[in-house]
Every structure is written in structure tokens, then in C-alpha cells.
A and B are shown apart, each in its own frame.
Chain A
Amino acid sequence: MQRLIDFITNSRVWRSFFRHGWPDNPLDRSLVMTTNVFFHLHPVKVSRKSLSAKYSLGLGLISAIVFGVLSITGLLLMFYYAPTVERAYGYITILQTQVPFGQLLRNMHRWGAHLMVISVVLHMARVFYTGAYKPPREFNWVVGVVLLILTLGASFTGYLLPWDQLAYWAITVGTSVAGYEPLMGAAIKSILLGGPEVGQEALTRFYALHVMLIPGAILLITSLHMWRVRKDGGLAAQDAEESEESGAKSEE
């Protein structure tokens, strides 16, 4: 058995996949990071403080995880959907009544979408109240604001797709707000809707935005966001020691 394992792990094929040994020693635990794509996300060693759940509440990671769940469930939902006024609603009822686990799939996508809006907003509040936007992390805060807006956009464009009364009137109300903008309001509204009111053109546009443009942008910008976290020195929790001390001094 041991010889078989050795044979496999020493083979050229295996070694072309994994450029490190079993990670039970410091060297291989370093290599497992530096020789992997995950090195873009984590350094070899991380500060114990930045892992504290009390500090970060895990909200950024939760947002990313929910985005992953939404991508997978969303992709599966696309198999039972057509963005046309005549067929969209019918597809949803078929999905809910005839497709195995169809209702469950739709539920997960729906509640996941709400959860992502909540976790992203709370993540922003966490970053603010822990002062984690301070230099050198200013730009990443701005990137985060962009991601928040994109998250709202993703949820809003998805809201129309079931094409029921709830969807129709929510989008009608939502887009009419854009129309109040005096200079470009009318233009923004007609670009979004492709016409004077919510109809086939709006559905087509919202679908394209929802399944491709916005998630693609979120994926790209989240990559930037995470890479930037690493480049700016990891979570701000590591800087805490100094500030606590200086804070204590100023309190005296």
C-alpha cells in the first residue's frame, strides 16, 4: 500500500499537479500556499487576530460564499427559464411544480439574494466601525462601495425575472424613482427599460444584466477587492495593538 502511494505521489503526473509534499511540516505548509492560486487570497501565515470572529464577524467571507451559492443556483435556474413576457411566468410555475427540487432551487436563490444584500451592508458597517478603511486601505473601501451598488443592482434586476405582479410593480416603482432625476433621469430610465414602461425590452435587458454583466463585474471587482486586502497588509485587526496602546495613552 505504502509503495503504491509512493508510486502515485512520485509520478510525474502527480508532481505536475502538486508541487509540494504532504503539508505536515512548515516547509510544505508554506509551499502549499505559495505554489497555489490561493496564494492570491492568503499569505503563508496569517495573524491570529485577523481570524477572530469577534473582530470581522466573517461578513465579507459570508458575502462571497452567498455569491457562490447564487452563481450555482442561478446557473441551474437558467436551464428552466426564458426571458420573454409570454413564457417567463410559465417557466417559473413549471420549475416550482414539475422540476425536481425546482422550488427548493428557487427558494435558495431568493433567500440567498436577500442574505447577500444584508451581509454586504453589514460588512460595510463592520469595516466602518472597526476603522478598517483608514490608510492604506482607502481605495479598497471605495471598491467596496462599488460592490455594494453592484449587489443592489444584481438583486434589483433579478427581481423582475419571475414576471409576476410583485416583480412587475416593484420594478415599475423602482425605475420610476430614476425618472425623478431632472437632467438624465428620463434617459437613464429609458436605457434601463428600453421603452416608456416595463415590458419585453425591459425583461430582456434585466435578464442580460442579471445573468451576465453584473455578476461578471462582481466577480472581477471582488477579485480586485480581495487581492487589495492582501496587498494592503491583510485585515486591519493586525494593526490593532499599536492603536490600542496609543488609545490608552490618550485616555490617560
Chain B
Amino acid sequence: MTDTNTKPESFSKDSTKTYSLVELVKAPTTMVDHGPDDTIFSFPVVALLELLLTLGVVALLLLMSLFVNAPLEEIANPNTTTDPAKAPWYFMGLQEMLEHGHPTLMAVLMPTLMVLFVIAIPYIDNSRTGSGVWFTSKRGKRITLYTAVYILVVMPLYIYLDTTFPLREMLRGQLPDFLLQAIIPALIMGAIVILPLMVLWRTQPTAREVVMTLFTVLFFSAIVFTLAGFLFRGPGFELYWPWNMPGDYSPWDNL
């Protein structure tokens, strides 16, 4: 309560007050350079916002449920296979991957690697800077954008080429199966993932930027593969345009 003329409670860096060093502690407790926090009472504003969001979400679900019915086909019959037989939509990425290589690689190794990578993210990038800021920096935003565009171009192309010119089937018998089904697809996938990292590497990226590139590759690949499997696969699990499916099959009926 000494000088009331200055801004209240602002703990400025260069104040005239002197301090004596008592102890060095490694912890983010200092209030230097922090003004008073810009806070509001949780009650009633936050409570009301939450109530409003609840009402909005429930209204949206109710509205959709009024107009769109959940699908129900004939009773389960183990003797007649549906064509195509598809997993629930969120596993269609996995099912799509199975089309492009050995099951152990595509359904076991890759998903395990992805989950382990996602879990490991905060331990790979453990810097505190950029916490709470979308994309950390302008550079981060650019990295995410370029990587996303790259994946949205390369992955559909890969799915299309690997399906229409299946190198793995054409060379069957001429090369060992293991090489064709596991090693080559793994190398192609690896190359697709490594390429943006190599471009990034020349600009001396931070751990955050490396992780951001990898996560963007993973996230957008997951979207591409899920959409490819869910929307673009028709009878015989062949590729079709979603609006041009043969027969009366519609991918939307699988929701």
C-alpha cells in the first residue's frame, strides 16, 4: 500500500523495491511481469454457458433424430455375407489400410506405432513455450497447413494408385511375398512420412514443430483413409465415387 498512483498490483520488472536473495527454487511461482489475472466468477457465468451448450447439443441431437432414422437391416444371418462388409465408420481407416499391405503390418504394427506415438507426444516435446496458443506460432501454422495439404494430396493418390496398379499383385510369385506385402508397403509409407520431416529438418525445427508435422501426417492420413474406406468403397470393396455406387448400395446406410 505504498504508492497507490501506479497501476494497482502490477509487479513490474524494474520496480525500485529491492529484494534479497534467500533461496533459488526451480518452479514457476514468480509473479514478476504478471498483472492481476483477468478472471471472472465461475458462478453464474460459467454455469450458464455450460447450461446453454448442453441445451444446444441436446437440441441438435434431437433435431437430427427427428428427421433421420438410425439404420436397421434384416435380422443377422451368418450364412449371407453383406457386400461390402464394412466395420463401423471409425474403423474404416484400418480396413482401408488392410487393402494396401500385409495384415500384421497394416492392422497391428502401424496402429500400435500410431497409438504409442500419440501417447509419447508430451514426452517427446516437453518444452513449455507455446502452451495455450493455436499452432504455437505463425511458423507452426504454416507447417501444419503445408503438411495437411501434402497429405491430402499424397494419401488419396497412394490409395488410388495402389488399388488400380497393384504392384504387389502384379509381381506376385516373382518376388518373395514378405518383401512385396510387408517391406515395400512399409518403405512407401515410411517415405511419405519422412519426406515432410526432411524438408522441415533443413530449417532447424523445434521438438514442437517436429511433433506437429508428425501429428498432422497422422491426423490427416487417418481422415483420408477413413473417408476412403467409408465413402469410396463399394461392392467387392472396389473404389467408386460415393454418388455413383453400383446397385442400390449407399455408403451412408452403414452409419
Given A155-B90, A173-B87, does the pair A89, B76 have CB atoms closer than 8 Å? yes
Cβ of B66 under 8 Å from chain A? yes
Q: Which positions 58-103 of chain B face chain A at CB distance < 8 Å?
A: 58, 61-62, 64-66, 68-78, 80-82, 85-91, 94-95, 98, 103
- Report if A177-B107 is in contact (Cβ < 8 Å); known contacts: A58-B53, A170-B85, A246-B129: yes
Q: Are A135 and B128 in contact (CB under 8 A)?
A: yes
Q: Once the chains bind, are B64 and A107 in contact (CB under 8 Å)?
A: yes
Partner of A165, one of B53, B77, B144, B219: B77
Q: A107 with B78: in contact, given A128-B121, A164-B73 (CB under 8 Å)?
A: no
Partner of B65, one of A96, A111, A167: A111
A76-96 vs B: 1/0 string, CB under 8 Å? 000000000100010011001
Residue from B64, B118, B122 in contact with A134 in the complex, judged by beta carbons closer than 8 Å: B122
If A44-B42, A48-B38, A51-B49 touch, whether A235 touches B75 (CB-CB below 8 Å) is no
Asked if B72 and A131 make an inter-chain contact with CB atoms under 8 angstroms apart, the answer reads no
Q: Is B88 within 8 A of A170, CB to CB?
A: yes
- Is the beta-carbon distance between A243 and B39 smaller than 8 angstroms? no
Q: Which of B40, B50, B103, B133 contacts A130 (CB 8 A)?
A: B133
Report B-chain residues with C-beta under 8 Å of the C-beta of A180: 103-104, 107-108
List chain B residues, Cβ under 8 A from A133: 121-122
B131 touches A166 (CB 8 A): no
Interface size of B by CB at 8 A reads 77
Residue of B49, B75, B253 with most partner-chain A CB within 10 A = B75
Specify which of B70, B94, B130 is in contact with A106 (CB 8 Å cutoff). B70
CB pair A177–B41 under 8 Å, yes or no, is no
Question: By the criterion CB–CB under 8 Å, are A111 and B68 in contact?
Answer: yes
> CB distance A131 to B77 under 8 Å?
no
Decide yes or no: A181 and B108 within 8 Å by CB, A45-B42, A142-B119, A168-B78 being known contacts.
yes
Residue B178, interface by CB 8 Å = no
Q: Which of B53, B80, B132 contacts A238 (CB 8 A)?
A: B132
Which partner residue on chain B sits nearest A240 by CB separation? B132
Partner of A236, one of B54, B75, B132: B132
Query: A104 in the interface, Cβ–Cβ < 8 Å?
Result: yes
- Could you say which of A43, A132, A165 contacts B132, with CB atoms under 8 Å apart? A132
Binds A, one of B4-12, B134-142, B162-170, B196-204: B134-142
Closest to B60 in A: A115
A104 to B53, CA, bound (A): 21
Residue of B nearest to A139 (CB): B122
Chain A residues touching B, range: 35 or more
- Are A42 and B136 closer than 8 Å at their CB atoms? no
Taking A92-B72, A181-B108 as contacts, is the C-beta distance between A23 and B129 under 8 angstroms?
A: no
List the 5 closest A-B pairs by CB distance, nearest first: A107-B65, A168-B76, A138-B122, A236-B132, A110-B70
Residues of B near any A CB (own CB < 8 A): 37-46, 49-50, 53-54, 57-58, 61-62, 64-66, 68-78, 80-82, 85-91, 94-95, 98, 103-104, 107-108, 115, 118-119, 121-123, 125-138, 144, 208, 212, 215, 219, 253-255
> A residues bordering B, Cβ < 8 Å?
23, 26, 29-30, 32-33, 42-49, 51, 55, 58, 61-62, 65-66, 68-69, 85, 89, 92-93, 96, 103-104, 106-112, 114-115, 117, 124-125, 128-135, 137-138, 141-142, 145, 149, 152, 155-156, 159, 162-170, 172-174, 177, 180-182, 185, 197-199, 235-240, 243-244, 246-247, 250-251
20 A-B pairs, CB-CB below 8 angstroms? A42-B46, A51-B40, A51-B49, A65-B57, A110-B255, A114-B255, A124-B118, A128-B121, A131-B131, A131-B132, A137-B131, A141-B122, A165-B76, A172-B85, A174-B88, A177-B103, A180-B108, A243-B128, A244-B133, A246-B129
